[in-house]
Amino acid sequence: MTQKTLPTDIPVEEFLATLDARRSAEGAELVALFREVTGAEPVMWGPSMIGFGQYAYRYASGHEGVWPRAAFSPRKAKLSLYGLQTHPDAGPLLDRLGPHTSGVDCVYATRLDRLDLAVLRELVALSWQVTAADAV
pLDDT in tens, 95-107: 999 999 999 889 9
Asked if CATH classification 3.90.1150 holds for the domain at 12-134, the reply, yes or no, is: yes
Instruction: Tell me how far apart the alpha carbons of residues 9 and 13 are, in angstroms, rounded to a whole number.
Output: 12
Q: Model confidence at 59, in pLDDT bands (50, 70, 90)?
A: confident
- Cα separation, 35 vs 37, in Å, equals 6
Question: What type of residue sits at position 76?
Answer: K
Q: pLDDT of 102-125, one tens digit each?
A: 998 899 999 999 999 999 999 999
Q: 1: pLDDT confidence band, cut at 50, 70 and 90?
A: low
Who has greater pLDDT, 55 or 39?
39
